[in-house]
A = this chain, B = another copy of it.
Amino acid sequence: MTSDIVLRNLRPMGGDTVDMLIQKGRIIQIAPNLSAPDGLPEEECGGALALPGLVDAHTHLDKTLWGMGWREHQAGPSLREKIDTERRLRREWDIDPHRQSMRQALLSLGHGTTAIRSHVDIDTEVGLAGLEGVMQTAEALSDLIDIETVAFPQSGLMSRPGTAELMNEALRMGADVVGGLDPCGIDADPKGQLDTVFDMAERYGKPIDIHLHEPGELGAFSMEMILDRTQALGMQGRVTISHAFCLGMPDRDRVRDLIARLAELRIDIATVATPSRPVPLAEDLRAAGVTLCAGTDGIRDTWGPYGNGDMLERAMLLGLRNNLRADADVEHAFACCSTNGAAVMGLDGHGLDVGCSADLVLIEAETVTHAVVSHPPRKAVLKAGRIVARNGQSLKEAP
């Protein structure tokens, strides 16, 4: 469902005040004092800043506890403890993937997120129930938010027999992207996992997005195996590496060489700007021409209590993590949370130019950097020209 509307007195990216004509969900004309066809609904924006729709390019819609009351954090510190605790609590707490993904998606929509790439757990316990729930949400919200699913073997792919078959089934069902994680750290079989993942991508014609938490040289080793397969199989421009903590390691010469290969193979990086871990540096990636997108990661789940789905707050965290202070640099942090995510997801016509899809966010701020550092509740959010949220809240209520 799309809409026709005239927006009055908005400032795209903080520029001059203009009007915007939207028809059939697309931006048709941008001009001051625009004379619009009779009978079109009009929205007075009062000089609000207009931004393109925000993009959460790395999250886990199936896992959030949002709206389930406060639950004390239970998991121990290791990655394996978090994974095992999550599988247990999923059973004990009735973390229904459809209901919970609806809640998170609508929470995010209220903050101006109009597209989400969600990893969804596939394992021998939950089977395909998580994916079914999130796909049901994607369908239910298809007019409001673009949701892409990644079939994600959170509990291990090679180390948990039966998972590969479920992943194949998930991709046949319509999962959009092939996921993977820590081929050394979780599976202790990097060749096995990566061959399986790339084979699935080839067989089903899908892109890849691999979680790589492995730090330092271990992560660099796994990353090189991903680089080699991307090159050998002609998967340039179809692979994302999420987290990529190894790019934050102190050996900057080593990192520079890895980044050069990422650029050459057009591999994208997704970050959540984790403040407590080494992370890929935004400026290094930008200088090399590697697309960096960003996400909220898990929001208030069994992994940790943080998060609220606000990608403008994430832009602030990305700016703080990377010590970005100049306005142009903070604008790059914003791009990571919007334009770059749209590029990674391959969204058609994302932006504020004539011809683009009218996915946009109205906010009381003077400039893009001001919007990032202050991130007040969004005045309104439009999806394909339709107003879908006001005052920070989605108009559609969550279950």
Contacts and interface: CB of A to CB of B under 8 A. Distances in A.
A373 B317 contact: no
Given A276-B320, A306-B373, A373-B307, A325 B73 contact: yes
A93 interface: no
Given A300-B373, A366-B70, A75 B306 contact: no
A321 interface: yes
Q: Is the interface of A mostly helix, strand, loop or mixed?
A: loop
B70 A367 contact: yes
Nearest to A299: B373
A38 interface: no
A369 interface: yes
Residue from A273, A306, A308 whose CB has the most chain B CB atoms within 10 Å: A306
Nearest to A372: B305
Interface residues of A, number: 35
Interface string A305-326: 1111000000011011111011
A275 B272 CA distance: 13
Nearest to A281: B276
Nearest to A277: B323
Interface in A147-174: none
A307 to B, nearest CB: 7
A307 B375 CA distance: 11
Contact of A305 (B306, B307, B327): B327
Given A306-B319, A320-B275, A373-B300, A366 B69 contact: yes
A305 B325 contact: yes
A72 B328 CA distance: 9
A304 interface: yes
A33 interface: no
Nearest to A82: B325
A330 B304 CA distance: 11
Contacts of A276: 320-323
Contact of A326 (B73, B323, B367): B73
A373 B275 contact: no
Residue from A77, A300, A304, A366 whose CB has the most chain B CB atoms within 10 Å: A304
Interface of A: 69-70, 72-73, 75, 77, 273-277, 300, 303-308, 316-317, 319-323, 325-327, 330, 366-367, 369-370, 373-374
21 contacts: A70-B366, A70-B367, A70-B370, A72-B326, A73-B325, A73-B369, A273-B275, A275-B275, A275-B320, A276-B320, A276-B321, A300-B373, A304-B325, A305-B325, A305-B330, A305-B369, A305-B370, A306-B319, A306-B320, A306-B373, A307-B373
